[in-house]
Structure 1
């Protein structure tokens, strides 16, 4: 839930650039964009399609469903999972809205990766200095470094 809240917050910051009606739709899509991961929604295993289908069944909101269906890497993911044809069930998403959700989604993920990678470690990382017995940098029988 924290992820969707953060995506929503970022979408609200960008909303004034989208126009009056689009800002509400972007805010709703930001909250709902990953609903396809919910157990009740899973069908194909591609969260974008599953989420869009779930929203269509529950609220019937076509513009919202299209944004959820086409956010982030749904076309590529559809090819990879062989369910991309299901994207044809949804009208084309407004590029600015789908792009906004994708930007907010990925910028949050990048921020989390940066935090994780720059956090202090409780144990020191393994070094790649050569082991004194054989000069190799690969851990093995002569010197895990």
Structure 2
């Protein structure tokens, strides 16, 4: 994966999100910038995969991409259909505990069958960057981010239900990334 792919990822995200979903675009830009800042703890190929997937992680919310209601799956499918590397699509498909949301939406087996879930420092770092960045691009502690999500959604919503189950898994990924970052400061 080369630097051209990173430029293409940023341009694609901007094209699909900036005009119609400006708040989502702010979030995506901040997640990508945070990913770039923490990528030094990964080798070059993993760092590029992290940053590319950060740019693309919320593509599934975009009009013309959204299909099933599970943005992670929709974005990943779109990426594969448009020639993106399978690894990037899989990182997008499984970002930030997407399997839990897929299960809530009755799409758990579909997500698991179509995309392998990578369990790696790269996947953890993507979850960390996403879930420590607020909807307007602000830096947040992961617990503050989860509280913000709970405030935005109705208590009985799918989002609140899946995060109730997913929180321990998310916190472990964030903890692993924080430990890696502490061991390899900039």
Structure of greater Rg: 1
Q: Structure 2: any 5+ residue segments left out of the alignment?
A: 1-24, 149-186
Greater helix fraction, Structure 1 or Structure 2: 2
2:111 is the counterpart of 1:89: no
The aligned counterpart of 1:111 is 140
The aligned counterpart of 2:58 is 34
The aligned counterpart of 1:2 is 26
How far 1:39 sits from its partner (Å)?
1.3
Compare 65-74 and 95-104 and name the one that shifted more.
95-104
How many residues matched?
A: 115
| TM-score normalised according to structure 2 size | 0.57
Greater relative contact order, per chain length (Cα 8 Å cut-off, separation 6+): 2
How far 1:91 sits from its partner (Å)?
2.6
The aligned counterpart of 2:157 is none
Distance in structure 1 (CA, Å) of the matches to 2:70 and 2:92: 11
Distance in structure 2 (CA, Å) of the matches to 1:94 and 1:111: 24
The aligned counterpart of 1:76 is 100
Compare 102-111 and 51-60 and name the one that shifted more.
102-111
The aligned counterpart of 2:69 is 45
Secondary structure in 2 matching 1:72? helix
How far 1:94 sits from its partner (Å)?
4.5
Distance in structure 1 (CA, Å) of the matches to 2:122 and 2:94: 10
Distance in structure 2 (CA, Å) of the matches to 1:48 and 1:17: 25
| TM-score normalised according to structure 1 size | 0.73
Structure 1's consecutive aligned runs of 4 or more residues displaced over 6 angstroms after TM superposition are none
Distance in structure 2 (CA, Å) of the matches to 1:91 and 1:3: 25
Over aligned residues, Cα RMSD in angstroms?
1.9
**Is the Cα contact below 8 Å between 1:51 and 1:69 reproduced in 2?**
yes
Q: Structure 1: any 5+ residue segments left out of the alignment?
A: 118-145
